[in-house]
Copies of this chain bind each other. A is one copy, B any other.
């Protein structure tokens, strides 16, 4: 029998509509589950128990009257702790922000709220969103619910872990070089990174204005589609007709993937996916992205992120960067010593990769890549340097990307599909087809 925490947005809404369940019960159930499980997982930094119950009671009342206010009415969600909610602490995973309480809501949160979502609390993350393990020294190490002592990935590790463990139906994360999709991959859930600026990043503690995006994680592509419909800012005027089926789609596989050191289980699962898509009628073609040398591009992205992140954190904390870990402070100090020429060259490489992707999308509907080159790894091992090599491509291209799990014999792998910039709704219309791949 399915537990409440196995249900998706449509199923919960149907149950609310039919009176089989109500938001207060479901919210209670999630809070109970957080109480019993999250001491070990450490996905929540703060549980907003009383506000959540009050919101759930109001939602229950609306459903009782048959007047839900939006597509997310009564759906329990949680937010990465770099997304401002007025009156709740928002730390960005940084010690210096331990007592920071914003007075304004982030528009992305506001959209969820206004669609009726019940916010359960704020989620653990890698310090300042710059890193891939969510082993947060100030606020605790987040654990992957699929495997003891393994990382959920990062930087939105709490978001991936909470969704995977059924501690919320969906979560918001942020994604600068892969920070939504890496945890989605390691935790076996679904993640969506929008086109640059397609979901508002206002009221979100920034890292890199060039690469930052806000995006949801959930337990199905269908749920991501519903969340995106709420979260996406205007853009319909720019969208092409949606694509709803694999048949006739041209899907590009970048040749440069051959130079990424993929774990054999990941490589096999990805090739299986491409064969499956071909059987479903898609046309799988090789595409060339000559400027995309994955490790070089990753280093360029990291340098730009560090330079832009340093500008923000130095404005906040002064050049001493007090209240950041030594490791983070050292990363943020690196660009000034690297020098202007290297930083300009990094921006140039990102631009060249973007132009390559633009050219590719004139020829194909979608690009397909593995999400991470590996499955999740133990917290006590050395993080692979290439974790974000495949995800950062979408940030460079300013393109939307949807990551979804691939079955393996063991821990889940993950693939992502990218569409041309601003074609978010077109990509998300494939949600049912993506969920259909589970069958």
Contact of A307 among B197, B210, B235, B340 (CB under 8 A): B340
Closest Cβ–Cβ distance, residue A338 to chain B (whole Å)? 9
A240 at the interface (CB under 8 A from B): yes
A355 at the interface (CB under 8 A from B): yes
Contact of A361 among B237, B240, B314, B354 (CB under 8 A): B237
Given the known interface contacts A347-B347, A348-B209, the answer about A362 and B307 at a Cβ–Cβ threshold of 8 Å is: no
**At the interface, is chain A mostly helix, strand, loop or mixed?**
helix
A420 contacts across to B, CB distance below 8 A: 237-238
Given the known interface contacts A209-B351, A351-B209, A351-B210, the answer about A234 and B359 at a Cβ–Cβ threshold of 8 Å is: yes
Contact of A308 among B236, B240, B344, B359 (CB under 8 A): B344
A274 at the interface (CB under 8 A from B): no
Contact of A345 among B311, B341, B421 (CB under 8 A): B311
Bound-state Cα–Cα, A62 to B341, Å: 50
A363 at the interface (CB under 8 A from B): yes
A335 at the interface (CB under 8 A from B): yes
Annotate A351-391 by CB proximity to B: 1 below 8 A, 0 otherwise.
11011001101110100000000000000000000000000
A71 at the interface (CB under 8 A from B): no
Given the known interface contacts A209-B348, A348-B209, A351-B210, the answer about A233 and B359 at a Cβ–Cβ threshold of 8 Å is: yes
Closest Cβ–Cβ distance, residue A213 to chain B (whole Å)? 12
Determine the residue in chain B with the shortest Cβ distance to A240. B238
A340 touches B340 (CB 8 A): yes
How many identical subunits does the complex contain?
Answer: 2
A311 touches B238 (CB 8 A): no
A336 at the interface (CB under 8 A from B): yes
Bound-state Cα–Cα, A359 to B240, Å: 18
A138 at the interface (CB under 8 A from B): no
A197 contacts across to B, CB distance below 8 A: 354-355, 358
A267 at the interface (CB under 8 A from B): no
A335 touches B341 (CB 8 A): no
A351 contacts across to B, CB distance below 8 A: 209-210
B234 touches A347 (CB 8 A): no
A265 at the interface (CB under 8 A from B): no
B209 touches A362 (CB 8 A): no
Bound-state Cα–Cα, A362 to B236, Å: 7
Bound-state Cα–Cα, A423 to B345, Å: 29
B311 touches A341 (CB 8 A): yes
Determine the residue in chain B with the shortest Cβ distance to A355. B197
Contact of A362 among B233, B310, B355, B358 (CB under 8 A): B233
A344 touches B238 (CB 8 A): no
A343 at the interface (CB under 8 A from B): yes
Closest Cβ–Cβ distance, residue A285 to chain B (whole Å)? 14
A236 contacts across to B, CB distance below 8 A: 362
A347 contacts across to B, CB distance below 8 A: 209-210, 308, 347
Determine the residue in chain B with the shortest Cβ distance to A195. B358
A residues 194-228 with Cβ under 8 Å of B? Answer: 197, 209-210
Determine the residue in chain B with the shortest Cβ distance to A365. B237
B344 touches A311 (CB 8 A): yes
A335 contacts across to B, CB distance below 8 A: 340
Bound-state Cα–Cα, A335 to B344, Å: 11
Bound-state Cα–Cα, A116 to B422, Å: 35
Closest Cβ–Cβ distance, residue A203 to chain B (whole Å)? 14
A363 touches B210 (CB 8 A): no
A362 touches B238 (CB 8 A): yes
A365 contacts across to B, CB distance below 8 A: 237
Bound-state Cα–Cα, A259 to B403, Å: 45
A sample of 25 cross-chain residue pairs with beta-carbon separation below 8 angstroms, ordered by A number, consists of A197-B354, A209-B348, A209-B351, A210-B347, A233-B359, A234-B363, A237-B240, A237-B361, A237-B362, A237-B365, A238-B361, A240-B240, A307-B344, A308-B344, A308-B348, A311-B348, A314-B341, A335-B340, A336-B340, A340-B340, A340-B343, A343-B343, A347-B347, A421-B422, A422-B422
Known: A209-B352, A308-B344. 16 other contacts (CB 8 A): A209-B347, A209-B348, A209-B351, A210-B351, A234-B363, A237-B240, A237-B361, A237-B362, A238-B423, A240-B240, A307-B340, A308-B348, A311-B345, A314-B341, A340-B340, A347-B347
